[in-house]
Amino acid sequence: MKEKTKRKFVNPDLSIIIPIYNEEENLRPLTLELKEVLETYGHSFEIIFINDGSKDSSIKILKEFVKEFNMNIKVINFEKNCGQTAAFDAGFKQAGGEVLITMDADMQNDPRDIPLLLKKLEEYDLVCGWRQKREDSFIKKASSIVANWVRNKISEESIQDTGCSLKAFRKEVPRHLKLFSGMHRFFPTLAKMEGFSVVEVKVNHRPRIYGKSKYNIRNRIIKSFLDLLAVRWMKKRRLDYKIKEIVQ
Ligand code: UDP
Ligand code: MG
């Protein structure tokens, strides 16, 4: 049903940032679930959808949502597909919230985990979801175990599940991250390199009911490995000095 009055929050508590690439069937159930769940928490919020060059009717649906829902919804529409990191970056830059929450559009992340992330964010700068019971294909789960292992070994890291999009950032964290394509897989490491504290919390995971995963081993393995070498290089070459004194 179409709602008539529209509230605009000036500075919401939470900015929910969701990249969209061909997710037309997920958009309505996702938005309805976010509305139902987030409105019970008592935090003001905005939802920022980034349409990353979808070829289906996602952008048309998202534009309708801006008028239809009595919520603070912002749609950023890319000219063409630029990848998930670019989408997160654009979302971070448009976000006005104290806390920035990233998640997937495919309903695999559960917004009911958000209070848990917020609680931990009282102690840490970045809280990352760690999917307990992955509801993905065997191939996807196995490749992710290997990828996390290799990533941790090569980048001297200890993150269990960097692929989980459900994360909560204190607003100052993304402002300090200079992002490059593919870097969304390294948010925890990049944040630590800037001196931020990072923790993982166990979260729910659900099967993807509508649409298809955009990643497979073939389209990910070489690029992700090169990205990993870049992060390792950045970590090793990070300027790490302390000034003893300045005399003038
Ligand atoms: N996505 C995007 N641009 C891309 C690829 C993916 O915005 O080039 C979005 C996609 O619509 C979803 C999220 O990023 O909301 C994660 O993608 P997906 O669920 O396909 O990845 P998986 O969870 O299978 O690794
Ligand atoms: Mg997904």
pLDDT digits (tens, 9 = 90+) for 115-127: 999 999 999 999 9
Cα–Cα–Cα angle for 191, 180, 116, rounded to 5 degrees: 40
Say if ligand 1 is within 6 A of residue 214 CB: yes
Nearest 10 degrees: Cα torsion 16, 91, 188, 205: 40
Residue 113 CB–ligand 1 contact under 6 Å? no
Find the DSSP H helices in the chain: 24-38, 58-68, 84-94, 114-121, 138-154, 172-175, 187-193, 217-236
User: Which residue, by CA, sits nearest to atom 13 of ligand 1?
Assistant: 104
Is pLDDT at 5 greater than 80 in this prediction?
no
Average pLDDT of 209-220?
A: 90
In this predicted structure, the answer to whether residue 9 has a pLDDT above a threshold of 60 is no
- How far is the centre of ligand 1, averaged over its atoms, from the C-alpha of 104 (Å)? 6
Average pLDDT, the chain: 94
Does ligand 1 lie within 6 Å of residue 219's CB atom? no
Give yes or no for a contact between 135 and 167, defined as CB atoms under 8 angstroms apart: no
**Atom of ligand 1 at shortest range from CA of 22:** 11
56-105 per-position pLDDT tens digit: 999 999 999 999 999 999 999 999 999 999 999 999 999 999 999 999 99
| Residue 12 amino acid letter | P
Statement: residue 216 has pLDDT above 90: no
- The answer, yes or no, to whether any atom of ligand 1 lies below 6 A from the CB of 51, is no
User: At 223, phi and psi to the nearest 5?
Assistant: -60, -45
Residue 104: the pLDDT is: 98
Identify the pLDDT of residue 84: 98
How much is the pLDDT for 182? 96
pTM of structure: 0.94
Looking at residue 10, what is its pLDDT?
54
1 band by pLDDT with thresholds 50, 70 and 90: very low
d(CA 102, CA 19): 9
Q: CB within 8 A of 54, min separation 6: which ones? A: 20, 21, 22, 23, 24, 81
* C-beta of 81 in contact with ligand 1 (< 6 A): yes
Q: How far is Cα 117 from Cα 82, in angstroms, rounded to an integer?
A: 28
> In the structure, what pLDDT confidence band is assigned to residue 158 with cuts at 50, 70 and 90?
very high
Portion of the chain with pLDDT greater than 70, in percent? 96
Q: Tell me the residue length of the chain.
A: 248
Ligand nearest, relative to CA of residue 102:
1
Residue 61: per-residue pLDDT: 98
Answer whether 74's CB lies under 8 Å from 18's CB.
Answer: no
Query: Residue range 230-236: average pLDDT?
Result: 96
pLDDT digits (tens, 9 = 90+) for 202-211: 999 999 999 9
3-class secondary-structure state, position 160: coil
